[in-house]
C-alpha cells in the first residue's frame, strides 16, 4: 500500500489497532444471530461503559445506543453498526474461531461493531473537538427481515432530530484500505417469492394420466429468465433468481406439486412494483398451458439504499483526505441492507471499506464459511467514520 495522508483521525485510529483487533476477535469468537444478540449487546454496553462522556441506553432488547454530546454546537449525526451473525458453521481454523456451533460472523459485522466502538472511544476522549450530537447505534438483526433497523426507526425515538446518518460495510471484494462511495442508488431492494405449482400425481410410466409439476416447474424457471433478458430494458437493473426447487420423492412417481423459491433485486420503485406482475404473468401462462395451477406468495424486503447526493459527496471529500488515491467511486450492488430504513427519516449515505487481501485469504465472499477480515481494514473504518462524525457534526 502506498503511504496514506497524515491526518489526526488517521494517527489516532492507527494507535487503536491492537484494541480494535481484540474487540473484533472477541466478537468473532462469540457470534449470535439476529434478535438473540444477548451476550453481544452486553459486551458492547460494558465496553462503552469504560468510556467517558457517553450516555448509554438500550433502545431494544439487543441493541445499544451511545450518545456523545459535543462541546460545540452542530448537527445531530447517527452512526450505525450492525452486530448480528449468521446461521453458518464456520470453517476457519484460527484461534478465535466461533465458539457457538452453527453460528458465525460471516458478513463482517464483528468488524463493524469493533469499528464503531473505536469511533466511540476516540470521540469520548476529545468531546471539545466534537460539534453537535453523535448518536452511535449498535443495531441488532440486520440479516433477518424485516430487520432491526425498521424496528428502531418505527418503535423508538432514535431518529428524532437526526440531521444526517452514515455507516459502512466492510467488503471482502475490495482490497484492504479502499473506501468506495457512491451518490444515488447503492444497494438493491431484496424481495422474495414462493411458488407452488400443483399438477396431478401419478405413475411415472403413464405421464399422460398425470399433470407433471416438475416439467411445468422447469418451464416456469426457464421462462422467468425472460423477464430480465427480454422484458426489461438492459439499462435498468433487475435480477430474478430461482434458488430453490423441490418436488417428488422417488423415481417412479410423478408428484402432485413442486415448490420454488427465489429472489428479485431492483433499485427503481416502478420496476420493483412491476416485477411481481411480470412473474405472475409467466406463471399463469405456463401453468395454464399445461393444465397445472399455481399459488404465488410475494414478499417485499428492505427498501433499496439510495444515498443522498450531498452526503455521499461530503464522504468522498473526507475519504480523499483520509485515504488519498484509495478513495473510489463505488459500483452499485444487488445486495440488500436495512440501512435503508434510516434513510426514510434523514438524509445519509452508506459506503464500503475494503477488507479483501488474498495473502490473508480474507477475500472469500460474504456469507461464506471461510469468510474473514483483514484487520487492517478496521483502522481504515475507524479513521473514515471518526473523520465523518466530526465533519458531519459541523454541518
Binding site for Zn ion (CB under 5 A): 107
* Cβ-closest position to Zn ion: 107
Nearer to Zn ion (CB atom), residue 82 or residue 256: 82
| Closest distance of CB 21 from Zn ion, Å | 20
Contact predicate 84/350, CB 8 Å: no
Cα distance between residue 344 and residue 341, in whole Å:
6
Nearer to Zn ion, 87 or 207 (CB): 87
Check if 151 is active-site: no
- Closer to Zn ion by Cβ: residue 187 or 254: 187
Q: What are phi and psi of 189, to 5 degrees?
A: -85, 120
Q: Check if the beta carbon of residue 294 is closer than 8 Å to that of residue 216.
A: no
The residue annotated as part of the active site, out of 90, 142, 212, 374, is 142
Least Cβ distance, residue 302 to Zn ion (angstroms): 12
CB of 304 to Zn ion, least distance (A): 16
| CA-atom Rg of the chain in angstroms | 24
Tell me the Ramachandran region of residue 161: left when phi exceeds 0, alpha when psi lies from -120 to 50, beta otherwise: left
* 142 in active site: yes
In the chain, what are the helix, strand and coil shares in percent, each to the nearest 5? Answer: 40, 30, 35
Give DSSP secondary structure letters for 73-96.
Answer: EEEEEEEEEE--BBS------STT
- Rounded to a whole number of angstroms, the minimum distance from the CB of residue 107 to Zn ion is 3
Q: How many helices (H) and strands (E) does the chain have?
A: 9, 16
107 or 195, CB closer to Zn ion?
A: 107
Contact between 168 and 107 under an 8 Å Cβ cutoff? The reply is no
Cβ of residue 365: shortest distance to Zn ion, in angstroms?
Answer: 10
Beta-ladder partners of 261: 194, 244
b/e for 118-139, b at 16 or more Cβ within 10 A?
Answer: bbbbbbbeebeebbbbbbbbbb
Catalytic residue among 84, 151, 256, 322: 84
The half-sphere exposure of 278 on its side-chain side, counting CA atoms within 13 A, is 20
The reply to whether omega before 146 is within 30° of 0 (cis) is yes
Residue 337 beta carbon to Zn ion: minimum distance, rounded to whole angstroms: 7
Residue closer to Zn ion by CB (options 179, 232) is 179
Nearest CB to Zn ion, comparing residues 264 and 390: 264
Q: Which residues are catalytic?
A: 84, 142
Amino acid at each position: 500500500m502506498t503511504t496514506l495522508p497524515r491526518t489526526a483521525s488517521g494517527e489516532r485510529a492507527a494507535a487503536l489497532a491492537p484494541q480494535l483487533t481484540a474487540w473484533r476477535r472477541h466478537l468473532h469468537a462469540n457470534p449470535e444471530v439476529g434478535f438473540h444478540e444477548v451476550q453481544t449487546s452486553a459486551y458492547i454496553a460494558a465496553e462503552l461503559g469504560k468510556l467517558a462522556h457517553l450516555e448509554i441506553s438500550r433502545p431494544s432488547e439487543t441493541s445499544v445506543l451511545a450518545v456523545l454530546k459535543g462541546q460545540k454546537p452542530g448537527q445531530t449525526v447517527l452512526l450505525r453498526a450492525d452486530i448480528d451473525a449468521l446461521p453458518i458453521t464456520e470453517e476457519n481454523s484460527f484461534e478465535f474461531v466461533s465458539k457457538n456451533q452453527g453460528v458465525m460472523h460471516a458478513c463482517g459485522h464483528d468488524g463493524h461493531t469493533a469499528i464503531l466502538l473505536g469511533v466511540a472511544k476516540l470521540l469520548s476522549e476529545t468531546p471539545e473537538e466534537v460539534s453537535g450530537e453523535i448518536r452511535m447505534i449498535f443495531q441488532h438483526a440486520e440479516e433477518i427481515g424485516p430487520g432491526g433497523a425498521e424496528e428502531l426507526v418505527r418503535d423508538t425515538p432514535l431518529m428524532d432530530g437526526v440531521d444526517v446518518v452514515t455507516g459502512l460495510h466492510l467488503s471482502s471484494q475490495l482490497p484492504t484500505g479502499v473506501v468506495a462511495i457512491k451518490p444515488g442508488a447503492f444497494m438493491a431492494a431484496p424481495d422474495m417469492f414462493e411458488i407452488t405449482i400443483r399438477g396431478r400425481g401419478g405413475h411415472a410410466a403413464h405421464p399422460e394420466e398425470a399433470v407433471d409439476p416438475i416439467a411445468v416447474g422447469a418451464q416456469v424457471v426457464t421462462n422467468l429468465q425472460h423477464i430480465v433478458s427480454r422484458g426489461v430494458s438492459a439499462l435498468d437493473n433487475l435480477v430474478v433468481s430461482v434458488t430453490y426447487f423441490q418436488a417428488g420423492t422417488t423415481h417412479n412417481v410423478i408428484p402432485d406439486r413442486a415448490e420454488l423459491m427465489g429472489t428479485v433485486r431492483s433499485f427503481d420503485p416502478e420496476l420493483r412494483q412491476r416485477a411481481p406482475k411480470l412473474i405472475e404473468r409467466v406463471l399463469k401462462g405456463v401453468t395454464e398451458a399445461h393444465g397445472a395451477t399455481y399459488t404465488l406468495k410475494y414478499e417485499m424486503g428492505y427498501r433499496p439504499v439510495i444515498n443522498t447526493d450531498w452526503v455521499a459527496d461530503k464522504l468522498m471529500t473526507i475519504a480523499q483526505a483520509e485515504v488519498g488515491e484509495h478513495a473510489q467511486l463505488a459500483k452499485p450492488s444487488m445486495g440488500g441492507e436495512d440501512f435503508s430504513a434510516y434513510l426514510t427519516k434523514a438524509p445519509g449515505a452508506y459506503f464500503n471499506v475494503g477488507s479483501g487481501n488474498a495473502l490473508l485469504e480474507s477475500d472469500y465472499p460474504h456469507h461464506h464459511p471461510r469468510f474473514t477480515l483483514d484487520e487492517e481494514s478496521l483502522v481504515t473504518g475507524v479513521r473514515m467514520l471518526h473523520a465523518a462524525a466530526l465533519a458531519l457534526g459541523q454541518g
